[in-house]
Amino acid sequence: MKKTIHDEYGIKVTDLEKVGRYESFRLHQTQFIVVPVSHIDEEELFEMYQLSQFMIEKRESHVASIVLTKKNHLFFEKDKVRYVLMKCSAYTQGRFTQLGKDLARFHAKGRLYPYQVSRTLRIGQWKVLWEKRLDQLEMFWRQKVQTQPLTQFEKMFVESFPYYIGLAENAIQYLVDTELDEEPQPIDSGTICHQRFLSTTWNPSMVIKSPIDWVFDHSSRDLAEYMRHLYFEKQEELKLEGFRFLEEYDRTTPLSPFSWRLIYSRLLFPIHYLECVEEYYLSPEDVKPLFEEKLNRILKDSGHYESFLRAYSSMLSMKTKRIMLPTVDWLTVAP
C-alpha cells in the first residue's frame, strides 16, 4: 500500500496504522485515511467530492476531503479494490455535547448546496426505494417458504416476514398520507445527510465527517436513524438522550409538522429487520451466526419497539400542541 500511495500521489508514507476500520498515516499536521470504495460508482464519488468541497468552503469543521491522484483521478486501485485517499486535521478531538444542535447546523449549511445531484439523491424517493426493497425480499421469502429444510435463521425469517411486511406497508402509507396532508416548509428542502447517522458517526476520539457516508436527502433521515440506533444500542439512554437530541435540533432549527411525520414514517419502516436479513445472505459463512443472533434479538424485541413508536407519538403530543401525529390504529393500544 505504501508504494501504491507513493506512485499515485507522490506521498512518501513511513508508517501505516489502523484508525477504526481504515488504514491511516500522518504527514506534518495532516491525517490521511485510505478508504475502500468499490461499492460506489465514479459519478457518485464525484458528487461526494463536490459535496465535501462545498462544506469545507462553508467552514464546516472536521470535514474530510478526497485527495486527487497525480493524474487528477478521484480513486486508485490495488488488488482489484478501489480506494480513495482522504485528508483531515490530525487527531482532532471533538466532543459533541449538543449533538442535536451540531447536526441542525450541519444540515442548515447542507441546504445551501446550489448544484444538482443525481447519484446521491434520495429526497422524495423513499416510497419507490422502500417498495422495490420489499418486493425483492418478498420474492425471496416466497422461495424460502417452498424450501426444505430451513436453517434456524431461515425459519425465523419465514415466520416473521408477514409481520414486518405489514409494518413496512404501514410506513409507506404513512409517508404517502404525510405528502398528501402536509405542506413542506423551507426546512423540508434537501440537505446533506448520512447513509446512517449513529451516535458513533462523528467519532469523538478522532472526528472525521466523511463524505463517503453522505447522501442528499430530507433531514428527517438522520434524525430517525439516530433514534433507531439509540433504541437498539443504548435503550436505557433513549428516553433521556434521544428525545433531548430531537429537542436540541428543534430549538436550533424548528422542525415542521411534515418533518415530524417523516421521522415517524421512517421509524415505522423496519430497516433494521430488512438489513439484517439482507446482510445474512450476503455475508460469509463464519459471520452468519452473528446475524442469526441479531435477528433473534430483533424478533424478541418487537413488542418493545412498538412501545418505542408509541412513545415518540405521545412525546410529540405532550411537547407541543401544534403537532398531533395521526395514529396507526393497531399501534395505539398496548398489548
Handedness of CA 274, 204, 244, 104 (dihedral sign): negative
Beta partners for 209? 63
- Answer yes or no: is pLDDT of 92 > 60: no
- Answer yes or no: is pLDDT of 244 > 70: yes
pLDDT at 14: 80
Alpha carbon dihedral 229, 233, 237, 240, in 10-degree steps, equals 0
pLDDT tens string 223-232:
999 999 989 8
Domains of the chain, earliest start first: 2-96 (3.30.200.20), 126-189+218-332 (no CATH)
Burial class (CB in 10 A: 0-12, 13-18, 19+), 28: exposed
Q: How confident is the model at residue 28 (pLDDT cuts 50, 70, 90)?
A: confident
Round to whole Å and give the CA distance between 53 and 59.
10
Lowest mean pLDDT among 65-74, 124-133, 205-214, 258-267: 205-214
Q: What is the mean pLDDT of residues 125-144?
A: 95
pTM over cut 0.85: yes
Largest pairwise CA distance in the chain: 64
Mean pLDDT (the chain) is: 88
pLDDT tens string 69-80:
888 899 888 888
